[in-house]
Structure 1
Amino acid sequence: MDQQTYNYEKIAKAIEFIVANAKEQPSLFDVAEEVNISQFHFQRVFSEWAGVSPKKFLQYITAGYLKEKIRESANLTELAELAGLSSQSRVYDHFTSIEAVTPQEFRSSGKGLAIRYGYHETPFGNCFLAVTERGICAMAFVDADSKEDQLIRLAKKWHYAEITADQEVTAPYIRRIFSADKKSLEKLPLLVQGTNFQLKVWEALLNIPNGAVTTYQQIANSIGHPGAVRAVGTAVGDNPVAYLIPCHRVIRKEGILGEYRWGSLRKKALIGWEAAHHNEE
């Protein structure tokens, strides 16, 4: 197992334990013992990953904190514009651009398109990444049981494309995606298949700044379909590019994180990690 993946699995297990025992406020020793590593080593690994202590990390995924963040994000467009004025902000709309396939390309299921894919370690476990000359067409977090599922899903969606494993092609994308300084990079283009409604939802997700969260209702309002909350939820769940299209930042209005296509525990890790890094900056 890669060291980064090993560390993430220990961290994820620690987050699960901390959340489950939040009322008892477990000590650093208790958490380290739960994940079966020394207290000193755990403190170093967790702090290097999150930038904060486990105790402070927990504050960023509590319902009270998240409800306050929801109130702050009532107007997504305004929030993104304000965040863009800050030199410390990293708004993915400034880092990622979406291109939709044409209706003809959609019908031809990728005919004439060359797709290269690979599996890579990230701060949130292993991921599957697929790219074309026009941009990233798929990204998903995976474990040992779901690695092949993502390839099968890709082959079904892009049925007539030439699909080849090539980690040398995909590795530079991973380095860019998880770079510490995205401001110095050109936009990462995405090439996606989706309905007009799905595209509106995915573009709205790009307006959620790093460290912020919103609700399904707020997304529905922002795209001009306030009554389509359930359809928004479906479109969020159909997001083809994990992390870059930040569907993990959409939570329930009660401040509850809810489910996530790539695991509810990973959603806690993502939101807490982003909030910790954003606030520390």
Structure 2
Amino acid sequence: MTTDLTLSADPDSLQNRAADYERVTAALDYLSENWRNQPDLAAAARAAGLSPHHFQRVFTRWTGASPKKLVQALTHASARKLLVDGASVLDAALETGLSGPSRLHDIFIAEEAATPGEVKSGGSGLDFSYGFAPSPFGSAVFLIAPRGLSGLAFCNRGEEAAAFDDLAQRFPEARFLHDDAQARDWAGRVFDAQAGEAPLPLALYGAPFRRQVWRALLAIPPARTVSYGDIARAAGREKAARAAGAAVGANPISWLIPCHRVLAADGRLTGYHWGLDRKRAMLAYEAATG
């Protein structure tokens, strides 16, 4: 018996998908070994045996990210660890194959809306506004950075100060300005938004895996629920359901980053930072208004 390995004209055929798997695997191996050299698209395409245009399309379809984005994520994760461990911004940039601090600055802004210096200093130099406003789920506490919303918490009346402290302790060296008017403006933008409006800017500060989990939460449609295992898989760590659960619990922006849509594997409501009664109310609210 003979086997015909000729590739089909249909890019989605089984033969082509099998060939693409081998090419993408080769490219992932190449990028994982060589990201410190900051390889360009042409170099990664050569490793896969494809033209740059074809490789970009195939790689993005298989991984959900461009080759450039993957190199950027690997660079950011390594540089972040170096900074937290005490390296200077210049040393972190050079150690990760970048030309200098300005390039590292661009990567950090793109990845977590914080500069390398802000990450290294634990929030020193960051200025936040915060305030309180009514919401469909009790009193809402907003933490607002210059680049977008960094925190949204809920509490019962009279517990606002404790809810603010819970958000603020994530940035022990930052400065905070009380501004309820700005919080009420954000409450209107969050809870009275019209369909089709542009997404609100979010300024997420956190370690790479946590931000991967928070991005996975953003992909859950309204009135739908998933398990912690589903979130771990979506974040690229299939066997890390417990770690994904911890990252879900550390989500600083309730409602907009919908951690209330994550349930236990058996469908039970578990582990909501702002209370299971509020989680149940959010799911009911979405079911009724969706």
Q: Which residue does 2:207 correspond to in 1?
A: 195
Contact 2:150–2:253 (Cα < 8 Å) also in 1:
yes
Over 3 Å counting, the alpha-carbon distance change for 1:155 and 1:262 in structure 2 is closer
Q: Which residue does 1:258 correspond to in 2?
A: 270
Contact 1:117–1:128 (Cα < 8 Å) also in 2:
yes
- Residue identity in the other structure for 2:128: I
What RMSD over aligned residues (CA atoms) do the two structures have, in Å?
A: 2.1
- Structure with more contact order per residue of length (Cα contacts < 8 Å, sep ≥ 6): 1
Q: Which residue does 2:21 correspond to in 1?
A: none
1:178 alignment partner, one of 191, 200, 211: 191
| % identity of equivalent residues | 37
1:168 alignment partner, one of 181, 205, 216: 181
Contact 1:99–1:190 (Cα < 8 Å) also in 2:
no
Q: Which residue does 1:150 correspond to in 2?
A: 163
Tell me, in whole angstroms, the C-alpha distance in 2 between the residues paired with 1:154 and 1:276.
Answer: 30
* Structure-2-length-normalised TM-score: 0.59
2:216 alignment partner, one of 204, 227, 234: 204
The question of 1:232 aligning with 2:244 is answered yes
Per-residue Cα deviation, 1:208-239 (whole angstroms, up to 9, x for no partner): 01111100011111122111000000000000
Structure 1 residue 124: deviation in Å?
1.0
How many pairs align?
Answer: 182
Unaligned runs of 5+ in 2: 1-60, 62-109
Structure 1 residue 127: deviation in Å?
1.0
Over 3 Å counting, the alpha-carbon distance change for 1:98 and 1:182 in structure 2 is farther
* Structure-1-length-normalised TM-score: 0.60
- Residue identity in the other structure for 2:172: H
Contact 2:217–2:257 (Cα < 8 Å) also in 1:
yes
Contact 2:131–2:183 (Cα < 8 Å) also in 1:
yes
Unaligned runs of 5+ in 1: 1-76, 78-96
Structure 1 residue ranges, 4+ long, deviating more than 4 angstroms after superposition: none
Which entry has the higher C-alpha Rg, 1 or 2? Answer: 2
Tell me, in whole angstroms, the C-alpha distance in 1 between the residues paired with 2:244 and 2:238.
Answer: 10
Over 3 Å counting, the alpha-carbon distance change for 1:119 and 1:98 in structure 2 is farther
2:122 alignment partner, one of 109, 115, 118: 109
Q: Which residue does 1:137 correspond to in 2?
A: 150
